[in-house]
Structure 1
Amino acid sequence: MSSPQPPTTGDAATRALEQLVEQIDLSLEELQRARARAETLVAARAAGRPWLELVTAEARPLVVESISSVLASLASAGHTWRREEAAALRREQVSINRIAALFGVTRQRISALLRE
């Protein structure tokens, strides 16, 4: 008799990981746009345009706003993935101490993560 296979799709951890992948893709696209805009600013600055002119002429979102948005989105998706991954490991009977070691955090952090 073979042991039952764990579910590989449809569980919360898998969904969180899929959402993280989607967010990474969106972030890459946004960062490419921000990079192109930053290169344009560098070129304009090299051409002698003053900072005030560059900043006031820049369309929104500003390069820095785009970067901040990407970081916040990745942090949120990454946190959700970490929480669901920890919960999935607990459901597989992995100890909190072992999960903490795998994640490189304290057992208290894992306990708090699992309580969320």
Structure 2
Amino acid sequence: MAIDTGEQDPAVRALRELMAVLDTCLTELGGARARAEKLLEERQAGRTWLDIVTAESRPLVVEQISSVMAALASAGGAWRREQAHALAAEQVSINRIAAMFGVTRQRISALLRERARART
């Protein structure tokens, strides 16, 4: 069987997109971590949470974290769907894919259906 390792492989595209999102998230989380340190310093200096949060510039640390989580969920979900489809295309059973992913066979079936719906 010929293996498609190029950009036309949807799983490769999804993995590259996930890697880009991971890079962005790492940068954003680094910034959030630095800002969290500043918040901690302000709190340890005796400021109230209301004063600290009111003075914090946007996006707030909690907003940054929510944004990162949403980006990871989206890119991670796309990668999982494409990876499940790629494995199924290689004749790997749904039961085996489920075991590899640590989910039920019903979840894998749903992933494969989601991927098919996303393509239409």
**TM-score bucket of the superposed structures, by smaller chain:** over 0.9
The residue identity in structure 2 corresponding to 1:97 is N
The CA RMSD measured in Å over matched residues stands at: 0.9
Residue 36 (structure 2) aligned to one of 33, 38, 46: 38
Q: Secondary structure at the match of 1:60?
A: coil
1:5 Cα shift?
3.4
Q: Aligned ranges for residues 84-95 of structure 1 at < 5 Å?
A: 84-95=82-93
Could you report, residue by residue, the CA deviation over 1:2-51 in whole angstroms, capped at 9, with x for unpaired residues? Answer: xx530112100000000001111000000010011111111111111111
- Structure with max Cα Rg: 1
Partner of residue 79, structure 1: 77
The residue identity in structure 2 corresponding to 1:7 is D
Would you identify which runs of 4 or more consecutive aligned residues in structure 1 move more than 2 Å? none
TM (normalized to structure 2)? 0.91
Q: Aligned ranges for residues 1-116 of structure 1 at < 5 Å?
A: 4-10=1-7, 11-116=9-114
Q: Secondary structure at the match of 1:94?
A: coil
Q: Distance in 2 between matches of 1:9 and 1:103?
A: 24
Q: Distance in 2 between matches of 1:70 and 1:29?
A: 10
Q: Secondary structure at the match of 1:114?
A: helix
Could you report, residue by residue, the CA deviation over 1:84-109 in whole angstroms, capped at 9, with x for unpaired residues? Answer: 00000111111111111111111111
1:80 Cα shift?
0.4
Q: Distance in 2 between matches of 1:46 and 1:104?
A: 42
TM (normalized to structure 1)? 0.94
Structure 1 gaps, min length 5 = none
Q: How many residues align?
A: 113
Q: Distance in 1 between matches of 2:48 and 2:94?
A: 55
Q: Distance in 2 between matches of 1:112 and 1:26?
A: 29
Q: Percent identity?
A: 66
1:68 Cα shift?
0.9
Q: Distance in 1 between matches of 2:51 and 2:59?
A: 16
